[in-house]
Amino acid sequence: MTEKKVVVLVTGVFDHLHKEHVAFLRKAKECGDVLLVGIESDVRVRQIKGEMRPYHSQTERLRAVEAIGIAEQVFVLPEQFSDPNEHRALLQKIHPDILAVSSHSPHLAEKQQLLQEIGGRVVVVHQHNPAISSTIILEKKRRNSRGTI
């Protein structure tokens, strides 16, 4: 008899992959057997982060996460992923056992409710480090490229 593999889902922007992202993905992988990573679409990133983002296209971000070699599958999330029905439909399709999030994940109560509906659970796997973020790194790059520090 084969044991059911524990499926872990992570979603995120991953616009400028850095060590905190890698640590987050590694900790998520430790929660199960199969790690699936959903990358926010370029359209959603503009909605979430503003018109200057994403810095890297969804294809570049997807390839960067794939290159780490931690996830079994990396895919681009639907553009309407913020819609609760779209969110629910994806979770029902993938049916993860665990949705791994970081400590600063928004809408935590809603995520817990959705996962509970499909028999899964939300696990906070990583403490957010506000000193290290893609936004900070990209802002420094922009300032340096303009000749200001």
**Per residue in 18-74, pLDDT tens?**
888 899 999 999 999 999 999 999 999 998 888 888 889 999 999 999 999 999 999
Q: Which helix (H) or strand (E) holds 74?
A: strand 73-76
Give me the residue spans of the domains in the chain: 7-145
* Amino acid letter, residue 70: I
Residue 12 in this model has a pLDDT that exceeds 60? yes
- Exposed/middle/buried for residue 76 (C-beta within 10 Å: 0-12, 13-18, 19+): middle
Percent of the chain past pLDDT 90, that is, above it, reads: 56
CATH of domain 7-145: 3.40.50.620
Structure tokens at 128: 């957010």
pTM (2 d.p.): 0.83
Amino acid 48: pLDDT: 83
Residue 9: Cβ within 10 Å count: 24
Residue 77 in this model has a pLDDT that exceeds 90? yes
Q: Can you state the percent helix, strand and coil of the chain, rounding each to 5?
A: 40, 20, 40
